Amino acid sequence: MTLLRRQYDFVRGTVVVLVWGGLRGGISIALALSLPETPFKAALLAATYAVVIFTIVVQGLTLGKVASRSLRASGPST
């Protein structure tokens, strides 16, 4: 974001919305799938999928509230 701020003007609160809406867990799932075959791999995969699905649901259902709070916190637009 620091590098992008040199080129673009961001409304205050943009970073909050980008971070809250952008976490999806694809890397976590890929890493869990790349684990070697061990007795714990199935449990780790299940836990990883559960956390990713939970975050998708929670973040998806609350993104509107986060965005509206971010916009209110940024004050009136100029």
pLDDT classification of 12: cutoffs 50, 70, 90: confident
CB 29 within 8 A of CB 46: no
pLDDT of 13-39, one tens digit each?
A: 777 777 777 766 788 888 899 999 999
At residue 26, the pLDDT reads 81
pTM above 0.75, yes or no: no
